[in-house]
Amino acid sequence: MAAVTHVLVTGGAGFIGSHVTAALLAAGHSVSVLDNGHPAAHREPLPETVAGAAVQVADLRDRDAVAAALRGVEAVVHQAAMVGMGVDLADLPEYVGSNDLATAVLLAGMAHAKVRRLVLASSMVVYGEGSYACPEHGPQRPPARTPEDLQAGQFDPPCPVCRTALVPVTTGEDARLEPRSVYAATKLAQEHLASAWARQSGGSVVALRYHNVYGPGMPRDTPYSGVAAIFRSALEAGRAPRVFEDGGQRRDFVHVRDVARANVAALEATDREGFSAYNIASGRPATVADMAHALAGVLAGPSPVVTGEFRLGDVRHVVASPELARRELGFTAAIDLASGMADFATAELRA
């Protein structure tokens, strides 16, 4: 068993953070939780404890609160963030403040407190579009999809050479990083800040690029919710899930309990130096329509409706390679989509 570590989990009362907190405690570590109860994630007051760990209510942008929370801490698992696509560009300052300024204050506090280990919750959104190949011209990096193509129902990005629809291939951690939404830009900025902190402090950062996380405790149905929760809310109300584009967009849906295990593995990988990034994914991609049909089947609800609607900040396909996490962290996802959706269909969600 790994040595017991006193860990601060930021955002530890949130959807993913609460599972991470429970998993760290189950692995024998000592855990403190810091969470600000942001209304985008919490519609009810924060609990006093998560899995038995006391919750400190404070904003990461508060330097004094961060300094107090770091006393006696040996490592930080940084889950706190404002997530999702948001409502519109009016959200931009809050994304940057909650994600990037808050991370900067945390890193400065860690440097002062001489806390040298960080596990960072990053996201697959840092890639923008995933990796693609043209049958004729080989690997290609498509430009951002245009409103004109999307309005015409041309959802798959075309080859920049011949305009043939590109084929998605697995995306490794060395892929080009090109965020295409405000949230994505803030997650990449978090990685850059953490990498600079590691170089200057001599610390280590393990950035976990989560793919599409779902499971018990997801926020029910807000503009910041994951698509699985939005579909489930529709089905529970007797409505068909509304699937954007043609439903063929490919994602890797990974269960939150697997994500929590990945965080434990990252914390216990004490041989990491500098900055490292890993895809945290199931390795079994599915289309958004596949996921919607699986959930509708479990709930015996109406069949999903493919709407053709689109959001300009969305990407078409991101198909992850989980190989590096398996090789270097010893992490492999255990829960497949069918059993995960069966669990998720009746699991308690966050108000």
Residues annotated as part of the active site: 183
| Distinct helix (H) and strand (E) counts, the chain | 11, 18
- In order of 229, 303, 325, 326, the CA distances from 331 in angstroms are 26, 35, 6, 5
What is the distance between the alpha carbons of residues 112 and 67, in angstroms, rounded to a whole number? 8
DSSP code per residue over 144-171: PPPHHHHHTT--SPBPTTT-PBPEEEEE
What is the distance between the alpha carbons of residues 250 and 227, in angstroms, rounded to a whole number? 13
Alpha-helical (H) ranges within 175-300 are: 182-201, 227-236, 256-267, 288-299
CB 252 within 8 A of CB 285: yes
The H or E element that residue 324 is part of is helix 323-329
* 62: DSSP letter: -
Q: Which residues contact 114 (CB under 8 A, 6 or more apart)?
A: none
